[in-house]
Amino acid sequence: MADTHRVVISGMGLITPLGTGARTFWDNLLSGKVAVGPLTRFECEEFPSRVAAQIDDFEPSDYLAKRRLQWTDRFSQLAVASAKLAVEDAKFSVDGNSADIGVYTGSALGGLAFAEEQIDIFRREGLRAVRPLLTLSVFGGAAASNVAIEFGITGPTMANADSCAAGAIAIGEAYRAIKRGDVRAALAGGIEAPLAPLTFGAFTVARAMSTRNDDPATASRPFDAARDGFVMAEGAGMFVLERYDDAIRRGAPIYGEITGYGTSNDAFHMSAPLADGSQTAGALRRALDEARVLPSEVEAINAHGSSTRLGDRAEAIAFERVFGERLPKIPVSATKGQHGHALGATGAWEVAIAAMGMRDRVVPGAVNLEKRDEECPISCVRETIAASARVVLSNSSGFGGINAALVLRSAQ
């Protein structure tokens, strides 16, 4: 089928360490609030890294009925809750034609944290003490399936586990499905609930996370010369994506339009990025090509900016490959210093940041950028600046060498 449909974001549902709901998240981001602090979810005194971006005010019963609570873990609860917020924000109704709506989710770890909890119970109390819910929670598609059940959506339900690019890929795949006419609308985004001892500890053992335990608020510092790793976070970001014509017809709010999507794989290493940035650049170019946008037309960039030594440098080099001498003139946002890195969910948050930044004509700053790494040749803004960007490129990358990029255009 010919590509005939324009695709817009008409609703956002965000549950983040910076707050719940698009408005709260955005206001706190622009205020410079930092949600990174000491990890208190479990005992971690022996861990090299003891900082995280937790969500301590999420109450699942505010969003799910009692029976649904009994058959969902935190991973699926975050998905359903954020999807409800997105539907409410979009004033979207799942009417009698639910087969024409899809659900697309991404998560690096899925229900792994709940499985970890149940393993401990199994070892202490035996098989009879293990919750039957475990079988229904550990697979990556559990969140998408629970969202479909909650809304009675019978269209395509797809979940990916593409590491830290998972949320961006879910949004990109939903965009493509609507664009080519497979569905008329979709709930799409990323979810992550990784704060459990072994899950968290494994990343510490891999030396991927910051050990700035004495000053958690400055631990995540993308592109800064003193960065020493990422800060793990939890949360979800779901969107209502739909045909432009449908959104206009029903008077829906439009945050922005998605016009391009590209992916690639470094095919190099499971944890280290390809240092020359060539395949990240490949994903960026694919997204620009699909959007029919020249590099000279991109007016702002939302960087993955994980705050890892190798990752930030490879990403900056990839940007240099695509934008060349013009790169220092393009404002770059890197906000993980405030909300941490929620693995597969963060790419969804950053799509929201790109869209709301275009709407409000600003580019958010990087709160902990004190001295830019000279090997990262980008103009990462330190404080929020005014910028009337009409075309923004959002980039995500993750373990396994997985890269994903999205191009957004202003709704204005």
164 is catalytic: yes
Distance, in Å, from the CA atom of 276 to the CA atom of 98, rounded to the nearest integer, reads 45
Helices 346-360 and 166-179 pack at an angle, to 10 degrees, of: 60
Active-site pick, 5, 44, 164, 376:
164
Active-site pick, 5, 44, 304, 339:
304
Active-site pick, 5, 339, 341, 376:
341
304 is catalytic: yes
Which positions are catalytic?
164, 304, 341
